[in-house]
A and B are shown apart, each in its own frame.
Chain A
Amino acid sequence: MKIFITSAVAAATLFTGSLAYAQDDFSGQLKARQGQFRIMAINLGILGDMAKGETEYNAEAAQAAADTLVAVSMIQQAPMWPEGSDEMSIDGTRAQTTIWEQTDDFQSKWADFGSAAEAMQASAASGQDALGPLMGQVGGACKACHDDHRAPAD
């Protein structure tokens, strides 16, 4: 009998434990939103290295990278940012609670990234000189959001 109760308790603990896990760790959402930022970084790298003169300017590659930035800006964000997926509640994220407290501000900063990406898309193929200021605009959008809504790295 004692063994049965112990097993039952253990099973119940395991069960509720895994339920809580499935409910609260948001690992799919974290992978998705961090993945989109990674795609942004890779394509900004293509454009930035051309702007810096570290790789040779190539209009076609620049255009493809800019198009990709616009594509990322069109991914709907809300489903990836469920309530409770902030850095105070779970591990593996630097998303500050301000994202949920000041949702309008967060959304408007994401929209600013979209505008900067569109500007990049419109002019990325027009020459290496154009890239510097365009990178500045995208970088400004990144920084503005990270300034308020991303926790410092450990």
Chain B
Amino acid sequence: MSSREYILQQIKKNKPELAPLPSLPSFERNDVDLLTHFKETLKFVGGMAIELRDDQNINKEISKIYHDAKQIVSNTDFVSLANFDLTFVTDPHDLKDIDLAILKGEFGVAENAAVWIPANTLAHRALPFITQHVVFILEKYKLVWNMHEAYKKINLQNTDGYGVFISGPSKTADIEQSLVIGAHGSRSLTVFLI
């Protein structure tokens, strides 16, 4: 008997009586301002939120923060700072010297400051992780309150097979519980809300 058959047979023998699968409420809330909550939560998780005013230029504002960035890539028409063309990069290892990736956020979740990044918007899945710093451009109206609403918007079949929620920069507290920002992935994360 194959292990597959054996395991399935054992489960059949040992499993309890069928328990019902609950239907899930979406726990909506009308008493919170999504934008304010998103910004506060992002700060709490070590990221920066910048709400762009009408008289501000996004390129200028990004450059102010990331003036040291040499290699810059972008996947959005909102900015024109990219100086590294991803079109001909076939091997993700060639992304290793990227300093800043400016990426379009599909939508944001106010309760935990997570931004949904599906692979179909990325030239390479490695991009948000291998870059030293990351900027997300997120349209203000694309905020939902919680994860229940978020998953209603996601169909993984339309993502090229991968998608990630990113909430703040990479971090670790593995050395004596001291929080260090910038573990393996991005050293900083800024969300521009436009």
**A and B together in one complex:** no
